[in-house]
């Protein structure tokens, strides 16, 4: 029960920070023609899915999982989460650069599989590593008295990498689901997320939509003349493909891109009609260019 209460409070806290961020940040175009204050992209703010992010932990390290869960729980009550997320979502302070040590078996290290391409959770500038996930996992490593080592892995093999014992944990804005639980044990959630659509402001096709049912009915009507861009190997791609017992999947063209930022560039350049992606990340990328 305590974990559920803490997770719910965390969702409320982070949602509030996101609202502050969206109201404080200036709009900008996504892509090479970006101009602050002149965004031509809008978010259709109706969640198509609801999901939670967690840290994937080696199944052979239950003590590590317990320690991470304790840190996540305490992080909410002692203000650590608010401090970290405030660096990205409209609070005080600036993103803090995180540095990775070199892998060394003679040292007590936390080996972390990550990706580096999911702002504002996970991104890089040279040897400086930024994002909510990076600051969170660094704080966890410090609390454990371990040196942080970041290993960059393609998202689709993150879980197998941890499962094979090559890394202790993985973190990269990872949605908790049953398929991934076959490879790793997940921490308690640290972020509540959901997929939504973005489109150009001159596209009024879904302006009438008020509910999930409105959106899904229209999505099912789209033919191959409509293009939806999505980051590959994500919940958004799973949604578009459809799953038995839920949404049946679209018939329109799916444009798969390496990152969500690439999806927005395709949208801005007229190569896609819509983008589907994590709501918080879409809003952050649109607001920050």
CB atoms within 10 A of CB 200: 17
Determine the straight-line distance between the first and last CA of the chain, rounded to whole angstroms: 40
Report the distance separating Cα 85 and Cα 17, nearest Å: 7
Structure tokens at 150: 């970041």
Q: What is the largest CA-CA distance in the chain?
A: 61
Burial status of residue 106 (CB atoms within 10 A of its CB: 0-12, 13-18, 19 or more): exposed
Q: How far is CA 94 from the centre of its chain?
A: 19
Strand order in the sheet with 147-152: 147-152, 109-114, 169-170, 56-57, 185-186
Q: 170: which residues sit within 8 A by CB, 6+ positions away?
A: 55, 56, 112, 113, 114, 153, 158, 159, 161, 162, 184
Phi, psi values for residue 137, rounded to 5°:
-70, -30
Q: Is the dihedral of CA 49, 55, 59, 62 positive or negative?
A: negative
Asked if 158 and 57 touch (Cβ cutoff 8 Å), the reply is: no
Asked if 215 and 46 touch (Cβ cutoff 8 Å), the reply is: yes
Report the distance separating Cα 228 and Cα 220, nearest Å: 12
User: How would you write the pLDDT of the chain (289 residues) with one tens digit per residue?
Assistant: 223 333 433 444 444 444 333 333 323 223 333 333 227 999 999 999 988 999 999 999 999 999 999 999 998 778 888 889 888 876 668 899 999 999 999 999 999 999 988 889 999 888 899 999 999 999 999 999 999 999 999 888 999 999 999 999 999 989 899 999 999 999 999 988 899 999 999 999 999 999 999 999 999 999 999 999 999 988 899 999 997 667 899 999 999 999 899 999 999 999 999 999 999 889 888 887 7
Domains and CATH numbers, the chain: 27-50+194-288 (3.40.190.10), 52-192 (3.40.190.10)
Q: How many residues does the chain have?
A: 289
Report the distance separating Cα 90 and Cα 106, nearest Å: 41
Q: Which of 142, 143, 102, 138 is nearest to 122 (CA)?
A: 138
User: What pLDDT score does 26 carry?
Assistant: 28
DSSP helix/strand/coil, 146: coil
* Cα-only R_g, the chain: 19
Report the distance separating Cα 49 and Cα 86, nearest Å: 25
Helix (H), strand (E), coil (C) string for 82-145: HHHHHCCCCCCCCCCCECCCCCCCCCCEEEEEECCEECCCEEEECCEEECHHHHHHHHHHHHHC
């Amino acid at each position: 029960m305590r974990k559920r209460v803490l997770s719910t409070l965390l969702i409320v806290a982070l949602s509030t920070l996101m609202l502050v961020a969206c109201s404080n940040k200036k709009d900008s175009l996504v892509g090479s023609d970006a101009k602050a204050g002149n965004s031509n992209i809008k978010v259709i703010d109706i969640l198509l899915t609801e999901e939670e992010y967690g840290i994937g932990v080696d199944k052979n390290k239950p003590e590590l999982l317990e320690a991470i869960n304790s840190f996540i729980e305490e992080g909410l009550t002692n203000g650590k989460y608010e401090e970290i997320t405030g660096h990205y979502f409209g609070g005080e302070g600036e993103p803090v650069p995180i540095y990775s040590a070199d892998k060394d078996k003679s040292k007590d290290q936390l080996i972390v599989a990550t990706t580096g391409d999911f702002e504002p959770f996970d991104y890089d500038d040279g040897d400086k590593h930024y994002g909510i996930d990076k600051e969170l996992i660094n704080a966890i490593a410090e609390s454990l008295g371990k040196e942080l080592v970041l290993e960059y892995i393609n998202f689709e093999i993150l879980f197998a990498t941890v499962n094979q014992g090559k890394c202790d944990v993985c973190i990269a804005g990872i949605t908790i689901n049953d398929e991934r639980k076959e490879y790793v044990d997940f921490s308690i959630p640290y972020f509540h997320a959901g997929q939504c659509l973005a489109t150009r402001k001159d596209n009024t096709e879904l302006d009438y939509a008020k509910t999930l049912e409105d959106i899904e009915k229209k999505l099912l009507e789209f033919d191959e003349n409509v293009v939806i861009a999505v980051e590959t190997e994500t919940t958004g791609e799973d949604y578009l493909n459809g799953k038995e017992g839920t949404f049946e999947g679209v018939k329109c063209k799916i444009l798969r891109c390496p990152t969500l930022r690439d999806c927005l560039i395709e949208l801005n350049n007229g190569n896609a009609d819509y983008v589907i992606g994590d709501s918080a990340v879409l809003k952050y990328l649109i607001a920050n260019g």
